[in-house]
Chain A
Amino acid sequence: MKETFKQLSVNADWWGLREIEDDMTVVSVRNDKVESVKTEVNKGYMAEVLVDGQFAYFATTRADQPSLQYAFDQAAGRANELKKYNLTNFATTERPPAQGSYKPNAQQKFNNDSLKEIVDRFVYSTQNLKATGGIDVISRSVRGLFSNKSMRYYSSNGSDYEQNLTQSQYTLSMTGSYEGDNQTLGNGTKVGQFGLESFDKMTLLQEAEEISRDLELVLKADNCPTDTRDLLIMPDQMYLQVHESIGHPLEIDRILGDERNYAGWSFVNLEDFGNLQYGSPLLNVTFDPTVQSEMASYDFDDTGAPAKKTYLIKEGKLLAGIGSLESQKRSGVKGVACSRMQSWNRPPIDRMANINVECGDSSLDDMIAATEKGVLMRSNKSWSIDDYRNKFQFGCEYGQLIEDGKLTKVVKNPNYRGVCTPFWNNLKMVGDASTMQVSGSFFCGKGEPNQIIRVGHAVPAALFSNIEVFGGGK
């Protein structure tokens, strides 16, 4: 591909080519049977040009030199047609040269022998999801996504960068019924840059036993009370709270209005950077694509910007945004290396990578002991937030009341709602390293045309005061 790229003749100020291949396998096992195995190799090429300040893209499945020449010619022609309607006059500084190779170590890349092993482990895991205490089990299931994704990037100003990632996600869950009510409880979904080494049978057995024990408790529980109380959020819910109410609002392209017609705007304004007290002084949030095994770790973003750890929020104060070099030029706000594309057929836009909350110094026991009237929630099952990323509501699969410093009865359908900055300023205690968990998602949606991106979140458990909580029912 490198040689083909060198032979291209492009009438543009700058041009780049990305070759992306994603070999993805999705396995679903239900009630000890393989319900579905779907795999695909999605490979293609994105030609990108910059002509008189206007970028344009052409995506194709064809790798031969005439086809790529055609792709670049089409893109250059389109950029020429559209440059008079240009929103921003971009320059080659928004495409710095990137060189090197990113290959995380200590991973068992998926290969032709992996499916047999995955199926074996998954069937074992559902076999160990068991009914307890007289509940009826309706469904015992596990679903996993396994991806080997590679990208090669060449540009007219010297980029020659290769990235190879092995990324996985699996969710183990059981649905049961008791006295006419159905509930589902899962393992909170495990996500990251890992291979087969990270979900051995011992891990799956432990998760299956916890689910089997707790589903009975949830099915026999009362609804979560409706009132205002302290809320202890465990990492398998906390990651989504961070994703929706810190990650998305800080995306500079949202603040600049690119997403207004689809994903939405942001309650954060450009002048808030350096000024807004986003959360309590206990809140420290980083953009950190350097954490091995976390989903979105890399050396360079998809436009060649070098990636490094950056504080977005320090001691509660908003410092930097999730803005690419393009967004930094447009906004004048400090950003990060976050220009990312779903695959070869979508242009790069501002995306989260790893958005992490730094741990504090409270153990889980400390936080429970410090709570007079509260509720612990874990394992997300519902999420919704407005288009300014301000008013949110979340629901979890498992809740447990905290009364006078002790965990007491389990409650079902625990939900809570709030508004971003008051919520984060009510952050009362932050869990220590023993409560940290690496999580994330394969499926963060945004952009027109729509794009899915893979993100990571390493977060601790955290305690918030005075949160509106409620349960289920009509």
Chain B
Amino acid sequence: MSKEKSMQIKDSFYKLSDKLVNSLNSGEELTLNFHGEHTNFLRFNQSKVRQSTEVQQYSVSVDLVIDNKQMSRGFNITFDEDQDYKEALATLKYCQEQLPHLQEFNAVVSPQAGEGSERIVTAQKLEVNTVVPQMLGEMQSVDMAGIFTSGPVYQGVVNSKGQKHWFSNDSFYFDYSLYSAKQKAVKNCYAGKEWNEADFKSNFEVSKQLLDKMNLPEVNVQKGKHRVYLSPSAVGEIVGTMSWGGFSMGAYKKGYSPLKKLKDGEEILSGKFSVQENFELGLCPQFNEVGEVSSPVLNLVNNGKLENFLTSTMTAKEFGLESNFASSSEFPRSVVIKPGQVAKEDVLKELDTGLYVDNLHYINWSDRMSARLTGMTRFACFWVEKGEIKGPIKDLRFDESLYNAFGSELDSLTSHSEIIPETSTYFQRSIGGMSSPGMFINNFNFTL
């Protein structure tokens, strides 16, 4: 994506927004959110192309506030100026007609004035017919499944108080897994802005070497409590699930926060565990969907103590609190988990005897009030004895409370962190990611 293309799309959105704001009646306030992307998706199975899909999608959501009543309506835009304006006016009219049917709500968030922002990250366009031969050329010796995703993503916010924010990013990721003849698998992701064949080959070599270890005889590990090493990716899966209400002030106030007992002082986490919302990662915009700009860094859990919940202005208004300009969902957008002391090359030695868990799968709360999670091991997971890999395991189910795993049983963390890019593409491409170290945990409970 060129900078010019991003500016062109931004200008179209701003122009449409200005026209709509100018059409407002007295007492009406408006916020417009823009999402756009031009994405190439290539899906692979058995190191061949399964599906190819190119998507150009652009949408605007109109959020109207009148007298403490609020609603939003979205529509797709075409960059046909007249057609888009006509659609925008019809959308605004719909909201104007429907709002009187709603009651006033004291927590409605009206747009505020403030400084705007602009961040445009560009990259050279990746030509599919250049990249695919490199990818598949390397992969012919193995059985690979995965997805290659590339292209620009755009986000923008404009409100009737004059705030304007624009963010665009151009990136790719190749999220893939390799399979042995015995159906054992390893997973990896090669992501960035510029495709580099040498870097990709190096990434693939690491995966292939790990896959070789999956050919060792399988070790039958019994259920029960085991010492584990959770890779950065596995830790990321857990913290990702924690984010379902775990860091949300609204969830706490509405009675479903899994960290209620931590907040209420009934449980503690380990002093070694710290989590921040940290926009210095630079993977997503600092503004939220109402144009508010969060602090660059906010401690959520600091040395085991809950310092801050993410608090949106809506939650703050409803419960008489101070907003820290979280998104309306109060999900963290840019998580950084504080690393520890264990060097990367010492991971097996530090684990000593136990389970090396590279990935976790399908985690859910099994008892939310006890912060207890269940999920499965997946991909490259090994049994290790005295610092030596003995062989891959059969997948195991865990069921364990965070007050144990990230509390009394958290032994140590690695000194290195990995960036785990957000690869979700439900409805549209997500942006952002997480920085996470690996963790060593004692007595991790496996049940099936």
Contact = CB atoms under 8 A, between A and B. Distances in A.
B45 A391 contact: no
A43 B91 CA distance: 14
Nearest to B143: A257
Given A41-B73, A81-B128, A345-B57, A472 B50 contact: no
B50 A264 contact: no
B48 A87 contact: yes
B376 A387 contact: yes
Contacts, number: 250
Contacts of B179: 257, 260
A471 B254 CA distance: 23
Nearest to B72: A38
Contacts of B103: 33-34, 119, 123
Contacts of A138: 254-255
Contacts of A87: 45-46, 48-50
B54 A59 contact: yes
Point out which of B185, B267, B367, B399 has the most chain A C-beta atoms below 10 A from its C-beta. Answer: B367
Interface stretch (B74-82, B115-123, B152-160, B278-286): B74-82
Interface string B29-51: 00000000001011101101111
A473 interface: yes
A34 B266 CA distance: 33
Interface in A430-474: 445, 448-452, 471-474
Range of interface residues on B (Cβ < 8 Å): 35 or more
A82 interface: yes
Interface stretch (B16-24, B297-305, B383-391, B420-428): B420-428
Interface residues of A, number: 88
A449 B53 contact: yes
B397 interface: yes
B196 interface: no
B54 A391 contact: no
Interface residues of B, dominant DSSP: strand
Given A258-B45, A417-B397, A385 B54 contact: no
Contacts of B45: 87, 256-258, 260
A426 B367 CA distance: 26
A203 interface: no
Contacts of B149: 449
A448 B41 contact: yes
B129 interface: yes
Interface of A: 30, 33-44, 54-64, 67, 74-75, 78-79, 81-82, 85-87, 112, 115-116, 119, 123, 138-139, 141, 175-177, 180-184, 256-262, 264-265, 342, 345-347, 349, 382-388, 391, 393, 395, 413, 415, 417, 419, 445, 448-452, 471-474
17 contacts: A38-B73, A39-B71, A57-B54, A58-B54, A59-B57, A60-B57, A138-B254, A256-B45, A260-B45, A345-B57, A347-B51, A384-B363, A393-B399, A415-B367, A417-B397, A452-B427, A474-B401
